[in-house]
């Protein structure tokens, strides 16, 4: 099997890259180790930056998103018994975010790929990337019980942190930067209408809490918990009681409760692999970087990566120049490190660390107070939250 671009992974990064290349007339093959049902059901991110939503619309993948997605023009910060709304459009010149789950983005992109008749192989496990330093890299993979080789001009690893693509970058040429946080998120899905119209980020003496949503009828909620937490140790009533405590403000209403349909624990970590390119192998999304979910940057960073790469591949096709491909890693990493900085700031500011002393606690409250009382500080948060420029 031969193609111009071999894409490992049918998450939002791989699927969107395939769509952008298809629209530009560049052929690709997508290999995904899981089946279609898994790809379309795995719960991940739910906040789309302004730029991400615009890219999906331009790619022809925004129809259902615009019908069913929930536009949010603000977020609410709760701390020290106070409530402060960050008005995103007012602070950014009109930008907002959209609540539309990653599962729905994947469904839309899979449907378009299959409608186009372009190659998308589910249950095709990538085994190795070979020959990345040469002109004819390839991907060895197993599909339907047989081992095959996909020959490419370029290989793109969109296969997540545990995938094979990053392992093809020689250790001597790699640098990894990592931060592990001493807490995690207990996340739940509940069949109940959200108790607030916008996302609520709460810093409380008992720990962080987040009120989010997936639709007008489904709430997504999170609690800061110890890193070794077992979700089974948290019965539903305990979760609702703790959410009420951490989200409570004077005069505020208690949460609407409903059946909890899913519980999971998400570790909190930051990770960046440099470089994001080795020869004709390119890394994108979680294969190259991970952010704690506090800043809602993971999916959006992946979109920035593949938009940058698609632009570079089209430039090479049209001009014969590798200039943009050569700049891919440096271009993406500028945006990645800004998102890492923002996500780190949000995480440390809003969570109670077991390692922090009273001095640090007061500093974090002072940062929140500054955002609530200084327009420029609020604008800095709003600009980052709605998205850094791509490229």
Report whether CATH 3.50.50.60 matches the domain 5-71+101-177+269-351. Answer: yes
Tell which residue, 10, 9, 45, has the closest CA to residue 291: 45
Q: Is the full-model pTM beyond 0.85? A: yes
Taking the chain (391 residues) in consecutive chunks of 10 residues, what is each chunk's mean pLDDT? 97 97 98 95 85 97 96 96 96 96 95 96 97 96 96 97 96 96 96 94 96 92 96 96 92 86 95 98 98 94 98 98 98 97 97 92 96 98 93 65
pLDDT at 370: 98
The 3 state secondary structure assigned to the chain is CECCEEEECCCHHHHHHHHHHHHCCCCEEEECCCCHHHHHHCCCCCEECHHHHHHHHHCCCCHHHHHHCEEECEEEEEECCEEEEEEHHHHHCCCCEEECCHHHHHHHHHHHHHHHCCCEECCEEEEEEECCCCCCCEEEEEECCEEEEEECCEEEECCCCCCCCHHHCCHHHCEEEEEEEEEEEEEEEECCCCCCCCEEEECCCCCCEEEEEEECCEEEEEEEECCCCCHHHCCHHHHHHHHHHHHCCCCCCCCCCCCEEEEEEEEEEEEEEECCEECCEEECHHHCEECCHHHCCHHHHHHHHHHHHHHHHHHHHHHCCCHHHHCHHHHHHHHHHHHHHHHHHHHHHHCCCCCCCHHHHHHHHHHHHHHHHCHHHHHHHHHHHHCCCCC
pLDDT digits (tens, 9 = 90+) for 62-114: 999 999 999 999 999 999 999 999 999 999 999 999 999 999 999 999 999 99
- 155 forms beta bridges with 6, 281
pLDDT digits (tens, 9 = 90+) for 212-226: 998 899 999 999 999
Would you name the residues annotated as active-site residues?
72, 201, 293, 297, 385
Provide the residue ranges of all domains of the chain, joining segments of one domain with +: 5-71+101-177+269-351
pLDDT at 42: 80
């Amino acid at each position: 099997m031969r193609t111009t671009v071999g894409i490992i992974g049918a998450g939002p990064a791989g699927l969107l890259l395939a769509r952008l290349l298809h629209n530009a007339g560049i052929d690709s093959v997508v290999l995904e180790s899981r089946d279609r049902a898994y790809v379309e059901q795995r719960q991940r991110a739910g906040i789309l930056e302004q730029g991400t939503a615009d890219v999906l619309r331009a790619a022809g993948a925004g129809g259902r998103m615009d019908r069913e997605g929930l536009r949010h023009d603000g977020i609410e910060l709760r701390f020290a018994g106070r409530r402060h709304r960050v008005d995103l459009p007012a602070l950014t010149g009109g930008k907002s975010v959209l609540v539309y789950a990653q599962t729905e983005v994947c469904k839309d992109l899979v449907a378009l790929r299959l409608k186009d008749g372009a190659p998308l192989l589910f249950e095709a496990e990538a085994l190795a990337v070979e020959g990345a330093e040469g002109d004819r890299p390839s991907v060895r993979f197993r599909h339907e019980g047989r081992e095959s080789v996909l020959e490419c001009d370029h290989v793109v690893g969109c296969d997540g942190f545990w995938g094979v693509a990053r392992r093809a970058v020689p250790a001597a040429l790699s640098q990894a930067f990592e931060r592990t946080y001493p807490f995690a998120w207990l996340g739940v899905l509940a069949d109940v209408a959200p108790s607030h119209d916008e996302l609520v980020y709460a810093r409380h003496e008992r720990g962080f809490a987040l009120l989010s949503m997936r639709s007008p009828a489904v709430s997504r909620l999170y609690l800061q918990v110890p890193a070794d937490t077992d979700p089974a140790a948290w019965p539903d009533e305990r979760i609702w009681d703790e959410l009420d405590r951490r989200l409570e403000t004077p005069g505020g209403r208690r949460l609407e409760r409903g059946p909890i349909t899913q519980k999971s624990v998400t570790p909190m970590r930051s990770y960046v692999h440099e470089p994001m390119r080795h020869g004709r192998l390119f890394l994108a999304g979680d294969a190259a970087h991970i952010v704690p979910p506090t800043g809602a940057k993971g999916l959006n960073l992946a979109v920035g990566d593949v938009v940058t790469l698609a632009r570079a591949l089209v430039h090479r096709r049209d001009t014969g120049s590798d200039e943009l491909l050569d700049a891919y890693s440096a271009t993406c990493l500028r945006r990645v490190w800004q998102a890492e900085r923002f996500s780190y700031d949000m995480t440390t500011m809003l969570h109670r660390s077991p390692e922090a002393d009273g001095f640090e606690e007061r500093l974090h409250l002072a940062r929140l107070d500054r955002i609530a009382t200084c327009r420029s500080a609020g604008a800095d948060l709003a600009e980052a939250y709605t998205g850094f420029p791509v490229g």
